[in-house]
Amino acid sequence: MTVQDASPDPSAALQRATQYVREARNLLVLSGAGMSAESGIATFRGSQDSLWSQFDPAQLATVAAWRADPALVWGWYLSRMDKVRRAEPHAGYHALAAFQQRSPNLRIVTQNVDDLHERVGLCDVIHLHGDLFAHRCSDCSYPYEQFEIADQVAGSANVRVEPLRCTQCGGQVRPGVVWFGESLPKDALAEAETLARACDVALVVGTSGMVYPAAALPEIAKRSGATVIEINPDQTPLSALADVHLRMTASEGLLACLGSAG
C-alpha cells in the first residue's frame, strides 16, 4: 500500500484510490479550502476570485488586524458568513455523507471554518481552525452563537461594520476562527493527531499543505503506515508523500472514489 503512484494514467490512479478506500478500516479525510471551492467559497491560495485579489486574507485574519480596525475585519467576516450561508454543499459532500452512513469508520478533519460538511449530515467533524458562526467576546470569551447577518452586510467585502458589544463585559464580539499566529484548539488538534496516527488511509482533499500544524497531519498518517491519497487539481508540497494523486476537483475525485467504493 505504499508504492508511489508513478503512473500518469488517471484511470489507473483512480482505480488504485478506489481500492484503497474500499479496503480501508479507518478512513480519515483531511479537507482544506479547495473542498468548498466548488460550492462557491473562495480558497486562500490558487484562486482568481476577485475577493482575494482585493484583500490579503493574512492581513485581515490576524489579532493585529482586529485591534487596528475591528469594523473592517468584522465586516469582512460578515460577508464571508453571508457567502457561506448562500452556498450549497456540492456532490462531493453528499458522497462523503453517504459513505459515512455505510461505513461509520470515516472521520473528517477540516481546516475549513464553514459548515458545509455538517449541512449534509456528516458527524463528528473536527474543525481545526474554528467555526465561522461561533463567535466570542474578545475580552472575556463569552460565546455568541447567533447573529442576524443578512441585514448587516450588503454582500460586499468592503462593508465596515462595528462589532457587537459583549453583554457580559462590554468587549467586542470577534469571529470564532483561528487567526494567523493564534494557537489551534488543543482538543481538536490532539484528536486530529490521534486519528492521523490510527487511520490506514488518509484522503487529503483541497489543501495547499502550507498551513501548519494542519499540514503535518498527512505526514503523521504516512509515518504511521497509512496510504495517502491526494485529491487536488494542482501539485502541493504534500504531493511528494502521496501514494496516489488524483488530479481532479474535490467533487469529481470524491464522487469517483467514494461513490464506487461502497
Half-sphere exposure of 5 (CA within 13 A, CB side): 24
Q: Which of 17, 33, 157, 254 binds ligand NAD (CB under 6 A)?
A: 33
Residues 48-87 contacting ligand NAD, CB under 6 A: none
Under 8 Å between Cβ of 237 and 77? no
112: contact with ligand NAD by CB under 6 A = yes
Q: Which stretch binds ligand NAD (CB under 6 A): 8-16, 62-70, 147-155, 232-240?
A: 232-240
Which is it for strands 201-205 and 244-246: parallel, antiparallel or unpaired? unpaired
Measured from the CB atom, is 52 or 142 closer to Zn ion? Answer: 142
Binding mask 161-180 for Zn ion (x = CB under 5 A): -----x-xx-x---------
Identify the active-site residue in 90, 117, 127, 129. 129
Measured from the CB atom, is 22 or 45 closer to ligand NAD? Answer: 45
- State the minimum distance, in angstroms, from the CB of residue 168 to ligand NAD: 28
- Look at residue 52 and give the partner it binds from Zn ion, ligand NAD, none, a contact being a CB closer than 5 to 8 Å depending on partner kind: none
* Active-site annotation holds for 127: no
Long-range contacts of 123-131 (CB under 8 A, 24+ apart): 126/188, 126/191, 126/192, 126/195, 127/185, 127/188, 128/178, 128/184, 128/185, 128/188, 128/189, 128/192, 128/214, 129/177, 129/178, 129/184, 129/214, 130/175, 130/176, 130/177, 130/178, 130/185, 131/176, 131/177
State the cell numbers at 64: 493585529
- Look at residue 227 and give the partner it binds from ligand NAD, Zn ion, none, a contact being a CB closer than 5 to 8 Å depending on partner kind: none
Q: Which residues are CB-neighbours of 194 under 8 A, at least 6 positions away?
A: none
Pairwise CA distance, residues 173 & 176, whole Å: 9
Measured from the CB atom, is 237 or 262 closer to ligand NAD? Answer: 237
Q: For binding to ligand NAD (CB under 6 A), which residues are involved?
A: 32-34, 36-38, 41, 43-46, 111-114, 129, 206-208, 210-211, 231-234, 236, 249-250
Q: For binding to Zn ion (CB under 5 A), which residues are involved?
A: 137, 139-140, 142, 166, 168-169, 171
Catalytic residues: 129
